[in-house]
Amino acid sequence: MNGFPSSAELDALRLSLEVAVRSVAFSLPLAVLAAWVLTRVRFPGRLLLDAFVHLPIVLPPVAVGYVLLLLFGARGPVGAWLRTHFGIELAFTTAGAALATAVMTFPLMVRAVRLSLENVDRGLEEAARTLGAAPVDRFVSITLPLMLPGILAGAVTAFAAGLGEFGAVITFASNVPGVTRTLPLALYTAMQSPVGDALALRLALLSFALGLLGLIASEMLVRRVRRYLGR
């Protein structure tokens, strides 16, 4: 257990990456949809939806985890339905940890995507219309590519943040070694153990390194895509 990296760290790292990847994959399309609705569609409940999307920022993560447990738990309305119809279990599973992470990082992603959408020149979409492009075609061929920097930035930032999501994950998915014990949960567990100081330090350093790497990668990616888009 003294070698670096030990299997506990590897497990935690692997799980964190898996959870972050799955959460981003799940929430990205929804974030694009939410950003589009919030930016382009005028409807009465827009302010409410906007607030709802941003709610995880201001709520205690534990509260979010608890609400998820009520909804998606084995006896929750959505959880029970998913279990009977699709055999999907969310509470206390890796998928559940990914869901909790997705909910927590959703506002971050929507924010970045929305900003990029607001920067898309509507004039270009009009030009595409006059060239015969119908709405979906227009979105795919013009709007989406021009939003790419924001989408990538949102995805990478959400991924980096997702690696470290703690409160909602531990509440909703618990702290099961190899299943839901991601980096921060492993760090927390190590800190609780009388002999875990060294492990805790290594996990903390790993988290630092990952976070830094994620943010730098995000910035580099955005720059490259901007260049590609001719800005």
Partner 1 sequence: MTHLLQVSVIKRRPAFLLDASFSAPLPGVIALFGRSGSGKTTLVNLIAGLLAPDEGEIRLGEEVLTDTRRGIAVAVERRRIGYVFQDTRLFPHLTVEGNLRYGEKRAARAPPVIGFEEALALLGLEALLARRPRQLSGGERQRVALGRALLARPRLLLLDEPLASLDDARREEVLPYLVALRDRLSIPMVYVSHDFDEVLRLATHLVLLAGGRVLADGPVDEMSLSRELQSIVGPELVGAVVEGLVTRLNTAEGSAQLAVGTGTLQVSLRDVPVGASVRLHLLARDVILATQPVQGLSVRNALASTVIALSDDDFGAVLVRLDVGGAVVLARITQGARRALGLQPGDAVWTLVKAVSTRGHAFRIVPGS
Q: Say whether residue 197 binds partner 1 (CB under 8 A).
A: no
- Asked if 141 interacts with partner 1 (CB under 8 A), we say yes
User: Do the beta carbons of residue 72 and residue 96 sit within 8 Å?
Assistant: yes
**Joined tokens for residue 22:** 């799955």
229 lies in the site for partner 1, by CB under 8 A: yes
- Nearest approach in angstroms of CB 19 to partner 1 is 33
In whole angstroms, what is the distance from residue 147 CA to residue 198 CA?
A: 44
Q: How many CB atoms lie within 10 A of CB 15?
A: 23
- Select from 69, 146, 153, 206 the one that contacts partner 1 (CB under 8 A): 146
29 binds partner 1 (CB under 8 A): no
Q: Using CA atoms, how far apart are residues 8 and 73, in angstroms rounded to an integer?
A: 27
State the Cα torsion 51-55-58-61 to the nearest 10°: 180
- State which residue, 138 or 202, has the beta carbon closest to partner 1: 138
Which of 35-43, 82-90, 104-112, 139-147 is the region at the interface with partner 1 (rule: CB under 8 A)?
Answer: 139-147
Cα gap 5→8, rounded to integer Å: 8
- Among 33, 51, 71, 124, interactor with partner 1 by CB under 8 A: 124
Q: Does 142 bind partner 1 (CB under 8 A)?
A: yes
Query: Nearest Cα to 110, choosing from 67, 147, 68, 69?
Result: 147
Site membership for partner 1, residue 40 (CB under 8 A): no
- Residues in the site for partner 1, rule: CB under 8 A? 121, 123-124, 126-134, 137-138, 141-142, 145-146, 228-231
